[in-house]
Amino acid sequence: MSRRPHVLLVNWRDTRHPEGGGSERYVERMAEGLARRGYLVTVQCAAHAMAGRGEWHDGVRFRRRGNKFTVYLHALLAIARVEADLVVDVQNGMPFFSRLVARCPVVVLVHHVHKEQWIWAFGRRFGQVGWWIESWLAPRLYRKCRYVTVSEVTRNELSGLGIPRERSTVVPNGLDPTPRTNADRDPDPTLVAVSRLVPHKRLEHAIDLVATLAPRWPKLRLELVGSGPWLDPLRAHARMRGVEDRVTLHGWVDEQDKHEILARSWLHLCPSVKEGWGIVVLEAAAHGVPSVAYRAAGGVAESIVDHRTGLLADDFDQLVAHTETLLNSADLRDAMGDAGRDRAETFDWERSVDSFERLVRETAGIERPERFTAMRPAAR
């Protein structure tokens, strides 16, 4: 029996991490799909209290070492030590510098560029250093590597950083099966935002929108779903804007509860600074719920088909105006909801894994492995 080709993915977090989100889900769906196709797959990421240092899940080996900063050092040690046929360097702003130590080809996975987020997260001085690493140093370090991303928007942004389009491939997100829900559409106007609670998601804009529309929509409510360090600031912001009684901060909820909330909502809001794609846009669409987001936020300009499955705004005033347009017209909401459902059905993780696997085989120069279940070594 021949040796299974080994793919090592290095990522900042995994989906069980308290700050895990859509980009981590994408990485793990690709990893699980490769494992089903016979590859040996390892995900190296940061350690956290929600999971052990080593385990197997859905055929994928997880090794968790280090914190949000030292995870990079542990990943470099793993890349140098492990016998892999391909390394997937997941660049969430900061690359892992895998090219320096890898003894095999490297593919760089970028969900979106982080120019605005560097400043939001680290302030102007340190943010400029981070953006220099992402925009100048990384493209030169990985100048011979293939890139993969989730949208044409990001592919174009990478091209603007000097990465030729012929070295980049778009492998879109898929969509998990939509669970059956018991919820009916709420009789009162209900907005929803599902997101990690961090500054660059800009959920204050959703709260400000409710405060702006409150005088004309006395029953308008907003449901915020998700966890993160920005929970208390958001609660304080709702109180400061005088809409604390209209804003429900659910925190973390399980998948079923998340879909129940989406199913009863009228509109989904995504006021984020930047998104690689925005999986929740399609999750909402699967329930017939249109989305309103900022056009400049990147991938949402593709996950939302403007004026067909939702509306894209150029500034806050337009975000408010678009939201009120949809609140005022049940016919328009229904039409966009129906179009969104139809479009959501076209996204499938298996098709995305097919494309990702082709990239793996072409880059590593390997044949498709036999599909078999091998003995699992200890997850150390």
Q: Is the pLDDT of residue 368 over 90?
A: no
pLDDT tens for 127-166 read 999 999 999 999 999 999 999 999 999 999 999 999 999 9
- pLDDT on residue 120: 76
Local confidence band at 122 (pLDDT 50, 70, 90 cut-offs): confident
Q: Measuring CA to CA, which residue among 90, 61, 67, 87 is closest to residue 17?
A: 67
CA distances from 58 to 75, 142, 346 (A): 22, 31, 24
- pLDDT on residue 377: 42
pLDDT tens for 283-333 read 999 999 999 999 999 899 999 999 999 999 999 999 999 999 999 999 999
| Cα 116 from Cα 225, distance rounded (Å) | 24
Structural domain boundaries, residue 323: 190-344
Q: Is residue 73 part of a domain?
A: yes
Question: Which amino acid is it at 42?
Answer: T
Q: Is the pLDDT of residue 76 over 70?
A: yes
pLDDT tens for 197-222 read 989 899 999 999 999 999 999 999 99
Q: Is the pLDDT of residue 343 over 60?
A: yes
Bridge partners (DSSP) of residue 90 are 109
Mean pLDDT computed over every residue of the chain: 94
Whether residue 233 sits in one domain with residue 140: no
- pLDDT on residue 29: 97
Provide the whole-model pTM.
0.90
Whether residue 36 sits in one domain with residue 16: yes
Q: Is the pLDDT of residue 7 over 50?
A: yes
Q: How many domains is the chain partitioned into structurally?
A: 2
Mean pLDDT across 328-349: 97
Quick one: what percent of the chain has pLDDT higher than 70?
97
Whether residue 120 sits in one domain with residue 24: yes
Whether residue 195 sits in one domain with residue 283: yes
Whether residue 167 sits in one domain with residue 31: yes
Mean pLDDT across 339-355: 96
Structure tokens at 93: 């702003």
- pLDDT on residue 371: 63
| Cα 310 from Cα 287, distance rounded (Å) | 13
- pLDDT on residue 2: 65
- 56: domain CATH number is 3.40.50.2000
Q: Where are the beta strands (DSSP E) in the chain?
A: 6-10, 40-45, 54-57, 60-64, 86-90, 106-110, 146-149, 168-170, 190-194, 221-225, 247-251, 267-270, 291-294, 310-313
